[in-house]
């Protein structure tokens, strides 16, 4: 069965509909990029969702990826434990992509996805030159992903069957 990829965007801060983070939730930017953090989170978060394109990367490739200009890696915490992560890619023209986003499987069902997405979008819009925040999801992702993105204010601009 083919996968449907949905591309979504937010073209102004006014479209953003954040939620308040629950007590015990916090996000922290990885200030000293470490490819091993990205690699571990990619494998653990993406394992159930068929994230495979980076699985072949060497440690050197992960290190180079993590330190590239314009990439920010954020970890979300729930009651002191890592709950998930997201990667922001700052792109030309004031575009910021939420390139990867997800919770660890043991963190599902705690209402953290909306709080983490609100944090990601807020960080993307915190840059003075941001004109657009965008992301993509597919039918292989968590069943609530698309609805969460739309509730935060993202609008569908393209779908592709793969």
pLDDT tens per residue across span 134-159: 999 988 888 888 999 999 999 999 99
pLDDT of residue 49 exceeding 80, the answer is no
Across the chain, mean pLDDT equals 93
At 2 the pLDDT is 78
- Specify whether domain 4-161 bears CATH 3.40.630.30: yes
Split at pLDDT 50, 70, 90, the class of 13 is: very high
Concatenate the DSSP letters of all residues of 111-150 into one string. SHHHHHHHHHHHHHHTSTT--EEEEEEETTS-TTHHHHHH
Question: From CA 133, how far away is CA 146, in angstroms rounded?
Answer: 15
**Partners of residue 84 on adjacent β-strands:** 76, 103
Q: Is the pTM of this model over 0.75?
A: yes
Using CA atoms in the order 36, 68, 9, 150, what is the torsion angle rounded to 10 degrees? 20
pLDDT of residue 50 exceeding 80, the answer is no
Domain ranges in the chain? 4-161
């Amino acid at each position: 069965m083919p996968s449907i990829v949905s591309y979504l965007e937010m073209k102004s801060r006014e479209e953003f509909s954040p939620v308040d983070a629950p007590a015990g939730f916090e996000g922290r930017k990885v200030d000293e990029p470490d490819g091993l953090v990205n690699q571990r989170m990619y494998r653990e978060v993406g394992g159930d969702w068929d994230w495979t394109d980076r699985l072949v990367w060497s440690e050197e490739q992960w290190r180079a990826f993590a330190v590239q200009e314009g990439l920010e890696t954020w970890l979300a915490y729930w009651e002191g434990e890592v709950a998930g992560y997201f990667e922001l890619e700052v792109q030309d023209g004031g575009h910021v992509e939420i390139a990867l986003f997800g919770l660890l499987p043991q963190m599902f069902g705690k209402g953290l996805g909306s709080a983490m997405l609100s944090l990601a979008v807020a960080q993307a819009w915190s840059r003075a030159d941001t004109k657009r925040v965008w992301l993509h999801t597919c039918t292989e992702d968590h069943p609530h992903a698309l609805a969460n993105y739309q509730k935060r204010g993202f609008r569908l601009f393209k779908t592709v069957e793969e």
